[in-house]
């Protein structure tokens, strides 16, 4: 999948939909809703990173963003807001999680699993970030544009190209999850039946729930379930909105 920033010139990004499906799916969903349109980049350290994606910057002019960053605009603090929810970190399971010049990563607070909508471009190699932030894209064209980005620069829009071209492996992941969900349901039913037969009477609702939970835990692969859920969520987004 490829996303393009136009601010003020194009940069083309390749997103890691297979390696970081939850993060990429979240980014695509937000972009498809226009969440990133008219936001400003609000942080930059030359040769280090440039940061954007904070909704606080939407109503501000470039000059106001720069004033807010210098704490000259009372009550306005870019970088403090999110999109209303947070998502799970994926850096540990991402084989491409290397912060290099032009990579796109999800920024977050100090707490684990606290990423949401804000992101940053690495402007050089940063291996110290590899076990802190999720890399979910790489600049493949317009790296010079990324390096020229500065505080106050506007994201006019984000366009997603080819998002319907999901990796073939996704089909296998979803199929495996469907199979394990069916197996888990069968295991739950059989466990409840055995427990009631051994007792000689029906279990209470709470007891049935506990027996079912134990049986399901022995079947379900949490990582596979999370991957499949991310893929399904991404497909729902793509089904609602045509690819730009």
Second CATH level (architecture) for the domain 2-161:
Beta Barrel (2.40)
Query: What is the rounded average pLDDT of the residues 148-170?
Result: 75
| 173-187 average pLDDT score | 79
Global model pTM greater than 0.85: no
Cα dihedral across residues 176, 178, 181, 187: positive or negative: negative
Phi and psi, residue 195, nearest 5° = -65, -40
In the chain, what are the domain boundaries? Answer: 2-161, 169-240
User: With contact defined as beta carbons under 8 Å apart, do 82 and 118 qualify?
Assistant: yes
Torsion of CA 105, 108, 113, 116, to 10 degrees: -80
Average pLDDT score over residue span 34-54: 94
Give DSSP secondary structure letters for the chain: -EEEEESSSEEEEEE-TTTSHHHHHHHHHHHHTTTTTTEE--EEETTTEEEE--GGGTT--HHHHHHHHTT-STT--TT---SS--B---GGG-TT----TTEEEE---SSTT-B-S-EEEESS--GGGTTTSEEEEEEEE-HHHHHH--TT-EE--EEEESTT---THHHHHHHHHHHHHHHHHHHHHHHHHHHHHHHTSPPPHHHHHHHHHHHHHTT--HHHHHHHHHHHHHHHHHHHS---
Tens of pLDDT, residue by residue over 49-97, are 999 999 999 999 999 999 999 999 999 999 999 988 888 898 998 999 9
């Amino acid at each position: 999948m490829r996303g393009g920033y136009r601010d003020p010139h194009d940069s083309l990004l390749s997103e890691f939909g297979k390696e970081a499906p939850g993060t990429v799916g979240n980014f695509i969903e937000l972009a498809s809703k226009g969440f990133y349109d008219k936001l400003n980049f609000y942080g930059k350290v030359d040769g280090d990173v440039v940061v954007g994606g904070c909704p606080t910057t939407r109503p501000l002019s470039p000059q106001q963003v720069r004033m807010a960053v210098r704490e000259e605009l009372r009550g306005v603090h870019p970088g403090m807001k999110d999109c209303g929810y947070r998502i799970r970190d994926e850096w540990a399971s991402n084989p491409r999680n290397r912060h290099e010049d032009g990579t796109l990563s999800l920024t977050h607070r100090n707490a684990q699993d606290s990423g949401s909508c804000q992101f940053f471009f690495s402007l050089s190699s940063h291996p110290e970030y590899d076990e802190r932030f999720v890399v979910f894209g790489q600049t493949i064209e317009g790296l010079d544009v990324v390096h020229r980005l500065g505080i106050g620069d506007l994201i006019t829009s984000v366009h997603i190209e080819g998002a319907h071209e999901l990796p073939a492996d996704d089909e296998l992941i979803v199929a495996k999850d469907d199979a394990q969900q069916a197996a888990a349901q069968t295991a739950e039913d059989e466990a409840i039946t055995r427990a009631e037969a051994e007792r000689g009477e029906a279990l209470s609702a709470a007891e049935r729930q506990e027996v079912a939970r134990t049986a399901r835990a022995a079947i379900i692969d949490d990582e596979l379930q999370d991957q499949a859920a991310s893929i399904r969520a991404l497909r729902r987004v793509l089904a609602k909105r045509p690819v730009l």
